[in-house]
Chains A and B, each alone.
Chain A
Amino acid sequence: MKRSVIFLLAALLAASLVVPAMAEEPVTLRFWTDPRFRNIAGMEDKTSLPGEWEMIQAQEFMKLYPHVTIEVEVIPFEDLTVRVPAAIAAGGAPDILKDYLGRTAQYWHEGVLEPLEDLIPQDELADYLPSLVEMYTLDGHLHALPSYSWVGHLVANKAIWDEKGLGHLLPTIDNPSWTVEEFEAAIEAVKEDSLWPFGLFVPPDGQADYRYLAFFWVFGAKLYEGGDYSRVDLNSPEGVEALTWLKSLNDRELIQPGATTMTSAQLDTMLWRGEIAMMGNTAALWSGYTNALRDGKVTREIDLVPVPYPTVPGVSAGLAVGPTGFAIFKQEDPNKLKWAVEFIRFLNQPEYQQIYAQNASQFPVRLSAGNPHEGKPHFEMIQKMLELYGAEDLGVTSTYYNQVRTLLSTEIQAVLINQKTPEQALADFEREANRILSR
């Protein structure tokens, strides 16, 4: 009797372990990610290559849910614009993609993403910064789940000013503002034969648009007015004034030569070599500096400080904000969709939010992640600037974002190389951009 009871209990125990596992159908999810993270603090030896951190995260998830298999693939930044569209067009899109808002929004407009607003618990969504949720809400739907974000601002190598005893010309955290005249005086004061005070990057494909659009905002010109993406608004007296001023900086050689085709990496190299003193960038530049130091690329003293864009009287210009998030591609299997959602919720847990923010010098998007940058002076300065000036609209979620920004950078280039006047360039931009937007 005793033996049969033990046998029965053992059988029940085994069944209780086996049945739930059998209840869950095996699921395989393909997760494509940008190569953002490496050398995670405390796990440097296991995460020296891009993608290794994401694989560790996937393994953690698979431990919790053994029936789920996550296949992680790291896509280099330069391939993200090609491989993902090609995969979607060929019917081989991943299930989950981590990418910049500018691209996930385009995929939403193409109708290939799952809306997430009903799949994420509302109390969890309430933990996200409302402004970010709003940015990710397109046509009334949450098209992806924001994960972290950069903020665009100026970065100066203060050491160059300090060497000349001119450090006082730069704004400080106690007084984080300056006028266009003060900005000009500061950069003119450090100009030398092989030192172009301001690094500008206006690539033909419109990348890093926040770096040159910021100067339009300084003068009060907006790319779109009030979130209306049906027509551009940059061809205004303020826009012309901004572009004229930018050209004058270029003509006076306050900007380095070759701004029209120079790459971001080349500009960084010039900063490490002390050939430029200031440029538009994000807090990620501090991570870049650490890597440059490690690679022996830094050949002069560097003291990076965040600096706000200058202001003109009566104009309040904000900063650019560039979030990255998780998008889920259309799923036919509801079970697969369910686990894809579970996985991105797992990836966005507050603990990971802090790691993302610290490792890639980004800002978390969940309130419960707290402030992972507390005590870091440059982050405090950036946060103060953001609080003071707010965020501007780059138009990243507009349907024709890539076309419009490519068009704008090309017209700015035409001005910088003296092919067009600012008036002509902005008129041409307006005509062509509005033609595109009216399609």
Chain B
Amino acid sequence: MPLIRSIVKGRWGYFFIGPAYVLFTIFTIYPLFEGIRLSFYDAGLKMRTWVGFENYARLLTDSAFRRAFLNTLHFVVIIVPVILVLSLLFAVLIFGLNYVLQSIFRAAFYLPSVASGVVLVAVWLWIYNPTYGLLNYLTGLVGLPRIAWLGDARWALPALSVVVISWALGRPIILFIAGLNGISREVYEAAMIDGASSWQQFIRITLPLLTPTTVFVLVTQTIGVFQTFVVVQLLTRGGPAYATQTIVYSIYVTAFQFLQFGYAAAMGGVLLVVSGSIALFQLRLMRADIEY
């Protein structure tokens, strides 16, 4: 009864969020459960045979998937902290500027987030091109040898990480600037009266009060980096020799090139469990209320 009373009381709220929830259920929740169900089948384009946990067992012995899993973790470990630190740094720097400059920098950093991935990749392909690329031209000016940035297993993963970071910085910067705007100036004034240095203000006031934003950025970026796909598909296609293969790219190849939808769904199941667990862990670790 209290539940019904609560629903009746908030009927207008439910009315407005209802359409979004319906779409979310149809296009996210239902495919999620369907994907999990599919992972227990040997499923091709038309035929489906129940195989229980066989697909998951096969993943344990699949060296290519193991490599993709490790590469994905590698991406998360490199990219997420760098995005967090850089976006906070840039946000603080931009926040101190006047309104016009703030707008210019916010737009500049956000631009890659809204630009076409294909166009950005074309630019990066030119930058990384081993024979006529900009990067080798610049390193050549200081006498460094030519490097196949995307074709060398030692450099391919870091090279892709730079691309992902350059794309992903915009949104966290905007969020951190919004977070900084939400911190009362009075707190800083009180700290200054108490003789706190700029560094102390940053560590003792800014960082703690930005915790909700930080948690949000951390969780969304972690999930986002777990889903790295476009950069891999358009720049390296998982090569050389699986050096940049990620879980999502493996799912794509397994489903659409090998036509093994059940096995691909099992990979998706693993991704769901791992990324979900890490996101939950991060949320618990930071123990903060999220307001966005």
| Residues 271-292 of A at the B interface (beta carbon under 8 Å) | 273, 275
B191 vs chain A, min Cβ distance (A): 51
Surface stretch bound by A, among B166-174, B180-188, B200-208, B255-263: B255-263
CB within 8 A of B257: which of A89, A196, A205?
A: A205
Instruction: Answer whether residue A230 sits at the interface, using C-beta atoms and an 8 A cutoff.
Output: no
Closest to B133 in A: A258
Q: Are B256 and A260 in contact (CB under 8 A)?
A: no
Q: Are A256 and B258 in contact (CB under 8 A)?
A: no
Q: Are B146 and A257 in contact (CB under 8 A)?
A: yes
Q: Are A273 and B239 in contact (CB under 8 A)?
A: no
Would A417 and B130 be within 8 Å (CB), given that A204-B238, A204-B239, A403-B258 are in contact?
A: no
Residues of A contacting B132 with CB < 8 Å? 270, 273, 275
Surface stretch bound by B, among A28-36, A107-115, A182-190: A107-115
Q: Are B236 and A257 in contact (CB under 8 A)?
A: no
Closest to B147 in A: A257
Instruction: Answer whether residue A437 sits at the interface, using C-beta atoms and an 8 A cutoff.
Output: no
Chain A window 226-270, contacts with chain B (Cβ cutoff 8 Å), 1 for yes, 0 for no: 000000000000000000000000000000111111110010001
Residues of B contacting A266 with CB < 8 Å? 125, 129
Closest to B258 in A: A403
Instruction: Answer whether residue A427 sits at the interface, using C-beta atoms and an 8 A cutoff.
Output: no
Q: Total A-B residue pairs with C-beta atoms closer than 8 Å?
A: 110
Instruction: Answer whether residue A172 sits at the interface, using C-beta atoms and an 8 A cutoff.
Output: no
Distance A110 CA – B260 CA, assembled complex (angstroms): 11
Instruction: Answer whether residue B284 sits at the interface, using C-beta atoms and an 8 A cutoff.
Output: no
Q: Are B45 and A82 in contact (CB under 8 A)?
A: no
Residues of A contacting B131 with CB < 8 Å? 194, 196, 256-258, 270, 275
Closest to A407 in B: B64
Distance A416 CA – B151 CA, assembled complex (angstroms): 10
Instruction: Answer whether residue A49 sits at the interface, using C-beta atoms and an 8 A cutoff.
Output: no
B148 vs chain A, min Cβ distance (A): 4
Interface of B, helix, strand, loop or mixed by DSSP: loop
Instruction: Answer whether residue B82 sits at the interface, using C-beta atoms and an 8 A cutoff.
Output: no
Residues of A contacting B45 with CB < 8 Å? 85, 88-89, 107, 110-112
Distance A24 CA – B242 CA, assembled complex (angstroms): 55
Instruction: Answer whether residue A197 sits at the interface, using C-beta atoms and an 8 A cutoff.
Output: no
Q: Are A417 and B152 in contact (CB under 8 A)?
A: yes
CB within 8 A of B253: which of A107, A406, A413?
A: A406
Instruction: Answer whether residue A353 sits at the interface, using C-beta atoms and an 8 A cutoff.
Output: no
CB within 8 A of B241: which of A82, A85, A413?
A: A413
| Residues 213-245 of B at the A interface (beta carbon under 8 Å) | 235-242, 245
Q: Are A260 and B125 in contact (CB under 8 A)?
A: no
Distance A419 CA – B243 CA, assembled complex (angstroms): 11
Distance A256 CA – B133 CA, assembled complex (angstroms): 13
Instruction: Answer whether residue A86 sits at the interface, using C-beta atoms and an 8 A cutoff.
Output: yes
Instruction: Answer whether residue A410 sits at the interface, using C-beta atoms and an 8 A cutoff.
Output: yes
Q: A111-B45, A194-B131 are in contact. List 15 more A-B contacts (CB 8 A).
A: A81-B256, A88-B46, A111-B47, A112-B46, A204-B237, A204-B239, A205-B253, A258-B129, A261-B235, A261-B237, A262-B151, A266-B125, A270-B131, A402-B258, A417-B240
Which 9 residue pairs across A and B have the least CB separation, nearest first? A204-B239, A258-B151, A260-B240, A258-B148, A257-B130, A258-B130, A414-B241, A110-B45, A257-B148
CB pairs A–B below 8 angstroms (26 shown): A86-B256, A110-B44, A110-B46, A110-B47, A111-B45, A111-B47, A204-B237, A205-B237, A205-B238, A205-B257, A258-B149, A258-B152, A260-B151, A260-B239, A261-B156, A261-B237, A262-B130, A263-B125, A266-B125, A400-B258, A410-B64, A410-B242, A411-B241, A414-B240, A417-B152, A419-B241
